[in-house]
Amino acid sequence: MNQEPLWSIFINASLVNNFVLAYFLGICPFLGVSSKLDTAARMGGAVTFVMFVSSICAFGIQLLLVAIDAPYLKLISFIAVIASTVQLVEMFIKKFSPALFRALGIFLPLITTNCAILGLALFQTNKGYGFLQCIVYALGAGAGFTLALVLIAGLREKLELAEVPEVTRGTALALMLAGLLSVSFMGFGGLGG
Amino acid sequence: MATSTKTTTDEFIKGLWKENPVFVQVLGMCPVLAVSNTAINALAMGLATAFVLIMSNIVVSLLRSFIPKEVRIATYILVIATFVTVVDYVIQAISLDLYKALGAFISLIVVNCLILGRAEAFASKNTVVRSTMDGLGMGIGFAFALLCLGAVREILGSGSLFGVELFHDSFQDWVVMVLPSGGFFTLAGWLLLFNWMKQRKAKKEQSAALTLAGEAAQ
């Protein structure tokens, strides 16, 4: 069992080893939904929630798989759980907040193929975290994802008004921004111990 | 839908260059950035993804008339996950070092949007032969793009290519290229190059059309 303290897990997952900027997980929504600050923040919230739920489920599944000795089913069962969690969240949001449902649009079902979530489930089993550690890890990763998304959305909103050379418009510019953000996040190195 | 005039060779060629999954469609970015820090990692990842892509294209295309519309995405994901599990164990058997270097990113091939995208957009509507060619082209195009990134990052970041030292000892490594931010910068650089080439071509065509129009007017 891993004995890492909870606060260190949180700092590590959100800042030092930020899922987007250090592990390159969840790049698709990072580039796709990051042109408006408002949507970016909501997307971050939805992803954090899905991470939280699927982290708990993945913990349970891992226990079960170890019990029945079938490690080769790990990937298939994880992805099935994530897909159904996303479906559940979608139905829940549709029922209770139709406005948010419309704002997120196509990106809500696409959370299923967000590698950050499957990545989280795989990392937590690889690291052998306990139940509480898993929850903190999921929350930290979600917070880090939201932070990265909001930061780049803010930058891109400003850039809308700036005059940039025509070749750099679009994805290339967003990638360069992400590179700069990634450099600045390296400054957090060593913080989590 | 593919038009009937297209030959199977065309399906193969388009993935290599004109519709290159990474440089043109910007799909499947996560593994592209994460494991392209050395050329050998990039090549292994590219080949693994190509294998999964080809196999899933074949299976999805074979089953395309049996899969009900409502559960198609879930079915595709299960097909893909099966092949990824196979690849995962194969790489572990061939080279443990490579397996450790690639880490969780082999499993993460499951959520590569390129594979699901090809299954949904192409294999579910086309014959087995066509889908195989499409998978082959896209897969090789993807591996090629990964290799482009990996080579640049390894040459600049550690002064070597496929582990062979290229420069004299006095070469100062660009450490930033091996770090995560280097991945973003390198990909941005390649995209800039492609944008520039596209723009130049468009300008050339435009000026050619203008001269033609001018000659016609005279």
From CA B113, how far away is CA A89, in angstroms rounded? Answer: 21
Mean pLDDT, chain A, rounded, equals 82
* pLDDT value for B29: 76
Per-residue pLDDT tens digits for A84-99: 888 787 888 888 888 7
Question: Which of B20, B24, B26, B186 to probe by mutation at the A interface, max A CB count within 10 Å?
Answer: B26
* pLDDT value for A28: 74
Q: Does residue B2 lie in a domain region?
A: no
Name residue B46's amino acid: G
* pLDDT value for B6: 67
Give yes or no for B86 touching A (CB within 8 A): no
* pLDDT value for B3: 47
Q: What angle do CA B206, B207, B213 make, to 5 degrees?
A: 90
Residue A105 Rama label (left phi>0; alpha psi -120 to 50; beta): left
* pLDDT value for B2: 44
Q: Does residue A17 lie in a domain region?
A: yes
* pLDDT value for B5: 56
DSSP annotation string for B74-87: HHHHHHHHHHHHHH
* pLDDT value for A1: 57
A16: confidence class by pLDDT, cuts 50, 70, 90: confident
Q: String of b and e for B99-134 (b: at least 16 CB within 10 Å)?
A: bebbebbbbbbbbbbbbbbbbeebbbebeeebbbbb
The lowest-confidence range among A56-65, A100-109, A126-135 is A100-109
Furthest CA-CA distance within chain A: 60
Question: Which of B27, B30, B113 to probe by mutation at the A interface, max A CB count within 10 Å?
Answer: B30
- Residue A32 φ then ψ, to 5°: -80, -40
Structural domain including A39 reads 6-186
DSSP state of B16: H
Q: Answer for the pair B107, A118: CB distance below 8 angstroms, yes or no.
A: yes
ipTM (interface predicted TM): 0.78
Is pLDDT at B24 greater than 80 in this prediction?
no
B204: confidence class by pLDDT, cuts 50, 70, 90: confident
Q: Answer for the pair A182, A22: CB distance below 8 angstroms, yes or no.
A: yes
The structure's pTM equals 0.81
Q: Does residue A1 lie in a domain region?
A: no
Is pLDDT at B80 greater than 50 in this prediction?
yes
Asked if A24's CB is within 8 angstroms of B33's CB, the reply is yes
Q: Does residue B214 lie in a domain region?
A: no
* pLDDT value for A106: 66
Identify which of A83, A170, A182 has the shortest CB distance to residue B184: A182
* Higher pLDDT, residue B160 or A53: A53
Asked if A83's CB is within 8 angstroms of B74's CB, the reply is yes
Q: Answer for the pair A14, A148: CB distance below 8 angstroms, yes or no.
A: no
* Higher pLDDT, residue B2 or A150: A150
Give yes or no for A24 touching B (CB within 8 A): yes
From CA B150, how far away is CA B157, in angstroms rounded? Answer: 10
* Higher pLDDT, residue A3 or B45: B45
Q: Does residue B25 lie in a domain region?
A: yes
Is pLDDT at B17 greater than 80 in this prediction?
no
- Token pair, residue B4, equals 């009937």
B73: confidence class by pLDDT, cuts 50, 70, 90: confident
CA distances from residue A150 to A23, A29, A33, A155, A157 in whole angstroms, order as listed: 18, 12, 10, 9, 11
A5: confidence class by pLDDT, cuts 50, 70, 90: confident
* Higher pLDDT, residue A103 or B141: B141
Q: Dump strand ranges (E) for A12-111.
A: none
What total of structural domains would you count in chain B? Answer: 1
Q: String of b and e for B12-47 (b: at least 16 CB within 10 Å)?
A: bebbbeeebbbbbebbbbbbbbbbbbbbbbbbbbbb
Q: Does residue B213 lie in a domain region?
A: no
Q: Does residue A192 lie in a domain region?
A: no
What total of structural domains would you count in chain A? Answer: 1
Q: Does residue A191 lie in a domain region?
A: no
3-state SS, residue A23: coil
Q: Does residue B212 lie in a domain region?
A: no
Q: Does residue B67 lie in a domain region?
A: yes
Q: Does residue B186 lie in a domain region?
A: yes
Give yes or no for B178 touching A (CB within 8 A): no
Q: String of b and e for A144-183 (b: at least 16 CB within 10 Å)?
A: bbbbbbbbbbebbeebeeeeeeebbeebbbbbbbbbebbb
Q: Does residue A193 lie in a domain region?
A: no
Per-residue pLDDT tens digits for A64-85: 888 888 778 888 888 888 888 8
Structural domain including B84 reads 8-165+173-205
